[in-house]
Amino acid sequence: MRPVTKYAIRRTGSLFALVAGIVVPVRPAASQAPGTLALKRDVLADGVYLFRAPRALDMWTSTNVVVIINDQDVTVFDSNTRPLTAQMVIAEIRKLTNKPVRTLINSHWHMDHWGGNQAYASAFPGIQILATTQTREFMKRITPRFFETAILTGLQPERAALDTAIRTGKEADGSPLTAEDRRVEEQGIARMVQFAKEISGVPRVLPNLVYVDTLVFWKGGREFRLFSETGDATASTVLYLPKERILVTGDVLVSPEDGKGPPPWTTNSYKITPWLAALRSFSTLDVDVIVPGQGPAMHDKTYLTRTIHLFASIIDQVHAALERGLVTQTEVLAAVNGDSIAVQYAPGTPLPSDFPLWMKFFTNKVYQESRDGGEGP
């Protein structure tokens, strides 16, 4: 659990901000120590590996990449945020096998899932990059410069808050701004500015094979089932390996980096009802392992079931509040409580400082949809 520090109190308390409908990072991971920059590898089944990139390394989120070694070739699900991280995964693949990566799946248009496409295209000429038709369309229109702009916009309140603290010599809570606090915060903002610049220069390699709704293919004896589902982005791809009983969800299901606590972010890029329907459809699948878009692999459906309850409860509460006659987003948010379900994710530990912001974003989205897209007075 992230401790609530002075730093967090002065700001929103979150690692992320919602800018232009997407979630952008506003603070780098706390630690940059060498051990925190290494990929973590899990073996999920024979020939199926999960590579978890820590947020300290991939900067945006802590991204999960699944590598599946087939009879003749390799299939990869998602390609990280930074080309640097993708190159590290490719080096690991080469240690495991000399078979080429022939298929790369991009789960959705958020850049923390496709930033490494160019690295794969260079390392494995002729690679097929697979996504839904809609994902490709979004990727065409939403360029790396969009993500750069969103990150820099998200940083502005951070910069302004620090400038105020420097001017007054005090934090927002009245405690003195120490030289060490200032140094750490200046450094954090500088790293995020540098990161924004880095990703604006990432070459955009678009998917070259697209599908709608569902696609099934076989590689040797292995069956791959792809479904288009709503997650934190519309028309996101989910991968199901029926024989191995593994479900790879992309950001249709995300957990905190350490797996402990409620979902850490939500965006404005989806529709609520189909998102909940997607989660409910997962609960009917025969699975031994669920790989979320971020966080450790799950070996039962506890996290999934809890998230279904959380979403359903908030939706019900927003509807009830509106039916009682509440009108503004502020009124509705005040009438909704997600804490009683959220604390069940990590019993005995306080709710993460991000959670109120998650509630606000999610509740507002439900509010808008409940009123046919209305933003509210």
| Closer Cβ to Zn ion, 107 or 370, answer by number | 107
Of residues 37, 204, 49, the one with CA closest to residue 116: 204
Longest dimension (CA), the chain: 67
Least CB distance from residue 110 to Zn ion, whole Å? 4
CB 7 within 8 A of CB 209: no
CB 250 within 8 A of CB 293: yes
| Closer Cβ to Zn ion, 264 or 352, answer by number | 264
| Closer Cβ to Zn ion, 121 or 252, answer by number | 252
| Closer Cβ to Zn ion, 185 or 232, answer by number | 232
CA gap 147, 22 in Å, rounded: 9
| Closer Cβ to Zn ion, 110 or 222, answer by number | 110
Taking residue 349's Cβ as centre, other Cβ atoms within 10 Å add up to 11
| Closer Cβ to Zn ion, 232 or 354, answer by number | 232
CA gap 184, 294 in Å, rounded: 26
CB 128 within 8 A of CB 104: yes
Least CB distance from residue 25 to Zn ion, whole Å? 12
Least CB distance from residue 109 to Zn ion, whole Å? 8
- Taking CA atoms, 354 is separated from 260, 290, 293, 343, in Å, by 13, 24, 18, 13
Interacting residues toward Zn ion by CB under 5 A: 110, 232, 251
Least CB distance from residue 22 to Zn ion, whole Å? 8
Residue 21, classed as helix, strand or coil, is coil
